[in-house]
A and B are shown apart, each in its own frame.
Chain A
Amino acid sequence: MEPSEVKIGFIGAGNMAFGITKGILLSGGVLPRNVTVSAPSSNNLGRFQELGAAVTHSNTEAVAASRLIFLAVKPHLVPAILREVAPHVTREHVVVSVAAGVTIATLEELLPPESVVLRLMPNLPCMVQEGALLFSRGSRAGPGEGALLKTLLGPCGLVEEGPESWIDAHTGLSGSGVAFVYLFAEALADGGVKMGMPSALAQRIAAQTVLGAGRLLRDSGRHPAQLRSDVCTPGGTTIYGLHALELGGLRAAVMGAVEAATERARELGRK
C-alpha cells in the first residue's frame, strides 16, 4: 500500500490527533482529502479543515472512509467507541490506538476477531513534529503494517517499534518526560531570576537552552556523559553547577520520576 493512497481516519480530534495529522500531511505523501476526522463537537475540527482534511461527527463514517484508523480518544471512552464502530471494522482495516493504558489485549477483545491492531504511544511534541513515538504490533499486525506506520509517522519525529511491555516505560520516560523537562526548564529560569535576570527573558533563554542542548544531543550521536564532560572546563562554572545538581540528587530524582510514571501507566493498564 502506497502512503499516498492510504485513506486515514481519526476518531477524536484532540492535540494528539492534530499533531499526527500535521505530521502525516507534512511529508506530502498523504493527500489531505484522504484524511477523515470525527469528533462529537465542532470545537476542534476547524484546524483539521484548515489542513484540508474531511471532518464529520460520525465515528462510523470515519471508519467506513478509511483503511487506517487512529483511535485518539481519552482512555475511558475507548470501550464505548469500539463497541460503536466494531460492526464496521473489517479485516482490511488497520486500527492504531493512541489511548494511554489501553492494552492490545483489550483492543482485540473489543474488536472483531482477526482485526489488525497496533498500539502507539506518541508524545506532545508530535504537535511540532518533534515527537518520540513507540508502537507495538497486535497479534494480527504483520511487519508490513509496522513498516507502513513507521513510514507514515516518520515526519512526526522519532518512530520506533517495540514489544508492548516497553510502552509503559516509554510513557514514563517520554510521554510524561516532556513535563519533567518543562519542570527543569522552569527551574533553570527561576535560577536565572534569582541571579538577577527578568523572568520573561530567563524563560525564553531556558527554553532555547533545552532545545539547543537537545538538538546537540540527538544529532551528535555521542553519549550524554561525553557531551557533559566536554562542557566542563576544569575548575569552571559548569562543574561547580553540576556539583550542586549532584548534591541535590537530581539523577535519582529523575530516575524515580520515570519509575513512578511507568508504574502508574502499568497500574492504569491493569484496570
Chain B
Amino acid sequence: MSVGFIGAGQLAHALVKGFTAAGVIATHKIMASSPDTELPTVSGLRKMGVNFTTSNKETANRSDVLFLAVKPHIIPFVLDEIGPDIQDRHLIVSCAAGVTISSIEKKLVQYRPAPRVMRCMTNTPVVVREGATVYAVGTHAEAEDGRLLEQLMASVGFCTEVEEDLIDAVTGLSGSGPAYAFTALDALADGGVKMGLPRRLAVRLGAQALLGAAKMLLDSEQHPGQLKDNVCSPGGATIHALHFLESGGFRSLLINAVEASCIRTRELQSLADQESISPAAIKKTTLDKVLQQPGVAAAGGPKAAVSLFNKSNPGRKRN
C-alpha cells in the first residue's frame, strides 16, 4: 500500500514522522508533493526518506491512500487538479479543517462516479504518537476503508469514528487544543520563573505536570472535578491558587476558546464551499503556483474580501 500526501507542511510532516516511528509504513512507500519547495518541512520529509515532488498529479498516481494535507481554501484547486487521475483504488482522506465530505464528493464525481472519500481531523501531537484523531466516512467509502484509516491513525494516537457534524467541534477542542496547552505551559513556566526557577526547569516541570495530569485522567474512572479535589488539601496552596484561576474566569476562557475555534472552522467551510478566496487570505504565492500546474482552471477571480474584523469583534472598525 502506498500513501501520498498532497501538501508537505506541518501536518504531512507530523503524520509521516508518527507513522514511521510506529512502523506502520516504510518511508519509501510515501510520497509528498507541494509547489513550494522552500518549506522547512519539505527538507524534513526528504531527510526521512519520503519521495518528494512538486507535482500533485504524480503523488495521486503513485498512491493508494491519498491524504489531502493542504489549507482548506486550497482544496478545491487540488481536487480540480487531481480529479482526472483518481482511480477506483484511491482512498481520499481530507484533513482540511471545515471542508465537508459532500463538497469534496461534489468536485470528484465530475471525474469519477463513486469516489471513496473520508474526512479526518487530527492534531499535531501525532508527531509523538499522541495524536487525537476523529474521522467520518463518505458516501462511497467502504467499511474496510474506515478500518484502514483507523488502523493508520491509531498507530499515532487515539482515533475514533464520528458523525461528520461533530468534526468542527473536535477541531475546536483537540485540533486547536495543543495550542491552548502550549500557551498554558508558557505561562506556567513564567510563573515558575517569577518564583525563582530557572526557565528550562520550569518548562520541563510544567510540561510534565500537564502530561501527568492528563495521563491520570485518561487512566481514571473519576471525574476531573474529583481528581481536582484530591489535589486540594484544606486551606492549602492549591485551593488558594485555584481561587485565582476561578476569579480570572479560567474555565470560561477555555470554553470560549473551543467555541471560537469551532465557529471559525465553520466559517472557513463556507468560504471553501463558495470557492471565494481573497488575496489577503492567501499569504504566499501558493495559489499562483497551483494555477501554473497544467489542467487547473482558476475559479472566477477573487471575490469580495474577507473582512478581517468579523462580527464577533464588536468595537473594531469594519473595512
On A, residues with C-beta under 8 Å from B are 223-226, 228-229, 243, 246-247, 249, 251-252, 255-256, 259
Give the docked Cα–Cα distance between A251 and B245 (Å): 10
Hey, which chain B residues are within 8 Å of A225, CB to CB?
223-226
Q: Give 9 nearest A-B pairs by CB, closest first.
A: A225-B225, A252-B246, A246-B252, A252-B247, A247-B252, A251-B246, A226-B223, A246-B251, A223-B226
B239-258 residues with Cβ-Cβ distance < 8 A to A are: 243, 246-249, 251-252, 255-256
Hey, which chain B residues are within 8 Å of A246, CB to CB?
249, 251-252, 255
Q: Which residue of A lies closest to B245 (CB)?
A: A252
Q: Is B229 an interface residue (CB 8 A)?
A: yes
| Beta-carbon contact of B229 and A223 below 8 Å | yes
Contacts A223-B225, A223-B229 aside, 13 further interface pairs with beta carbons under 8 A come to A225-B224, A225-B225, A226-B225, A226-B226, A229-B223, A243-B252, A247-B249, A247-B252, A249-B249, A252-B246, A252-B247, A252-B248, A256-B247
Give the docked Cα–Cα distance between A259 and B226 (Å): 21
* 1/0 contact string of B209-238 vs chain A (CB within 8 Å): 000000000000011111001000000000
| Beta-carbon contact of B225 and A243 below 8 Å | no
Give the docked Cα–Cα distance between A200 and B226 (Å): 37
Give the docked Cα–Cα distance between A255 and B232 (Å): 14
Give the docked Cα–Cα distance between A252 and B249 (Å): 8
Give the docked Cα–Cα distance between A251 and B228 (Å): 14
| Beta-carbon contact of A243 and B255 below 8 Å | yes
Nearest CB in chain A: distance from B310 CB, A: 20
Hey, which chain B residues are within 8 Å of A247, CB to CB?
249, 252, 256
- Known A223-B229, A243-B252: A249·B246 in contact at CB below 8 Å: yes
| Beta-carbon contact of A251 and B251 below 8 Å | yes
Hey, which chain A residues are within 8 Å of B243, CB to CB?
252, 255-256, 259
Ordered by A's residue number, 26 sampled pairs between the chains whose C-beta atoms are within 8 Å are A223-B223, A223-B225, A224-B225, A225-B224, A225-B226, A226-B225, A226-B226, A228-B225, A229-B223, A243-B259, A246-B251, A246-B252, A246-B255, A247-B249, A247-B256, A249-B247, A249-B249, A249-B252, A251-B246, A251-B251, A252-B246, A252-B247, A252-B249, A255-B246, A256-B247, A259-B243
Nearest CB in chain A: distance from B216 CB, A: 15
Give the docked Cα–Cα distance between A225 and B144 (Å): 39
Q: Which residue of B lies closest to A165 (CB)?
A: B235
Hey, which chain A residues are within 8 Å of B248, CB to CB?
252
- The secondary structure that dominates the B interface is helix
Give the docked Cα–Cα distance between A235 and B252 (Å): 16
Q: Which residue of A lies closest to B242 (CB)?
A: A255
Give the docked Cα–Cα distance between A211 and B248 (Å): 30
Interface centre among B225, B226, B243, B252 (most CB of A within 10 A): B252
Hey, which chain A residues are within 8 Å of B246, CB to CB?
249, 251-252, 255
B254-294 residues with Cβ-Cβ distance < 8 A to A are: 255-256, 259
Hey, which chain B residues are within 8 Å of A226, CB to CB?
223, 225-226
* 1/0 contact string of B300-312 vs chain A (CB within 8 Å): 0000000000000
Q: Which residue of A lies closest to B235 (CB)?
A: A169
Nearest CB in chain B: distance from A30 CB, A: 34
Hey, which chain B residues are within 8 Å of A255, CB to CB?
243, 246
Hey, which chain B residues are within 8 Å of A224, CB to CB?
225
Q: Which residue of A lies closest to B249 (CB)?
A: A249
Give the docked Cα–Cα distance between A247 and B243 (Å): 15
Nearest CB in chain B: distance from A232 CB, A: 12
Nearest CB in chain B: distance from A252 CB, A: 4
Q: Which residue of B lies closest to A225 (CB)?
A: B225
Interface centre among B248, B251, B256 (most CB of A within 10 A): B251
Nearest CB in chain A: distance from B313 CB, A: 17
Hey, which chain A residues are within 8 Å of B229, CB to CB?
223
Give the docked Cα–Cα distance between A252 and B247 (Å): 5
Q: Which residue of B lies closest to A249 (CB)?
A: B249
Hey, which chain A residues are within 8 Å of B251, CB to CB?
246, 251
Give the docked Cα–Cα distance between A228 and B224 (Å): 12
Give the docked Cα–Cα distance between A224 and B248 (Å): 22
Hey, which chain B residues are within 8 Å of A228, CB to CB?
225
Give the docked Cα–Cα distance between A246 and B243 (Å): 13
Hey, which chain B residues are within 8 Å of A259, CB to CB?
243
Hey, which chain A residues are within 8 Å of B259, CB to CB?
243
Hey, which chain A residues are within 8 Å of B225, CB to CB?
223-226, 228
Hey, which chain A residues are within 8 Å of B252, CB to CB?
243, 246-247, 249
Give the docked Cα–Cα distance between A225 and B251 (Å): 13
Hey, which chain A residues are within 8 Å of B249, CB to CB?
246-247, 249, 252
Give the docked Cα–Cα distance between A84 and B262 (Å): 71
Hey, which chain B residues are within 8 Å of A243, CB to CB?
252, 255, 259
Give the docked Cα–Cα distance between A263 and B307 (Å): 52
Nearest CB in chain A: distance from B284 CB, A: 37
Q: Which residue of B lies closest to A247 (CB)?
A: B252
